[in-house]
């Protein structure tokens, strides 16, 4: 009788722990409709029209800083490409270039990470329009032990980190981490 009681208690505990996991809140999904903001490891292509020596691809460092010729360091983290272009234009105009025309576009997005029960866990390049299913396929697909409906997605939302369950069709953003759980049987 005692082993049976312990098995029932263990089963109820397992069930309770599974059901307490919350779905991601509205801020998690609102991130998808907001303009893309730059962060560490993004590479941007900056074109200053008429100034070939300033036009190049620049990487944003781990501190969110971009080093740009003539004007030095710029805090690029949290800015949209359009905001960064405006900031560079303002700084160049003040001392260096008369009426600069600046364009900024993302050349390479920061990577995504796929972990858990996939065939080749690791860091992968993000492609616009990527879904959870695409990311898992990039990581070699599900392993034999993978739970196909039990996937966690972790995302940076400003200064907060949010995690929640994701469906296979959920969109992925640059910097996201996916974790595919193992099925129990």
Express each pLDDT in 148-184 by its tens digit. 989 999 998 777 888 889 999 999 999 999 999 998 8
Check whether 6 has a pLDDT greater than 50. Answer: no
Query: What residues does 171 pair with on adjacent strands?
Result: 131
CATH no. for 23-33+110-182: 3.10.560.10
Partner residues linked to 75 by β-bridges: 65
Q: What's the mean pLDDT in 57-73?
A: 95
| % pLDDT > 70, the chain | 82
Say what the pLDDT of residue 94 is.
87
Instruction: For residue 75, give Cα distances in angstroms to 33, 65, 79.
Output: 23, 5, 8
Residue 161 is predicted with a pLDDT of 87
Same topology, domains 23-33+110-182 and 43-108? Answer is no
Distance of CA 58 to the CA centre of its chain: 19
**Is 2's pLDDT higher than 60?**
no
Q: How far apart are the C-alpha atoms of 165 and 25, rounded to whole Å?
A: 11
Which helix or strand (DSSP H or E) is residue 165 part of? strand 160-166
- Residue 64 backbone phi and psi in degrees, to 5: 85, 15
Does the domain at 43-108 match CATH 3.30.1950.10? Answer given as: yes
Domain ranges for the chain, please list them: 23-33+110-182, 43-108
Number of helical H runs and strand E runs in the chain: 4, 10
């Amino acid at each position: 009788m005692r082993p049976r009681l312990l098995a029932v208690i263990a089963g109820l505990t397992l069930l309770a722990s599974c059901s307490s996991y919350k779905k991601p809140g509205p801020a998690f999904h609102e991130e998808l409709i907001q303009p893309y903001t730059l962060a560490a490891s993004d590479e941007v292509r900056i074109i200053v029209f008429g100034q070939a020596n300033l036009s190049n691809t620049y990487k944003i460092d781990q501190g969110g800083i971009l080093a740009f010729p003539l004007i030095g360091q710029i805090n690029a983290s949290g800015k949209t490409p359009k905001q960064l272009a405006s900031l560079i234009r303002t700084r160049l105009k003040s001392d260096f270039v008369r009426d600069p025309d600046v364009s900024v576009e993302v050349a390479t997005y920061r990577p995504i990470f796929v972990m858990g029960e996939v065939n080749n866990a690791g860091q992968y390049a993000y492609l616009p329009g990527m879904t959870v299913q695409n990311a898992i396929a990039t990581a070699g697909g599900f392993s034999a032990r993978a739970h196909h409906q039990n996937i966690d997605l972790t995302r940076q939302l400003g200064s907060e980190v949010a995690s929640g369950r994701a469906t296979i069709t959920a969109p992925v953003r640059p910097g996201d981490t996916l974790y595919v759980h193992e099925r129990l049987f």
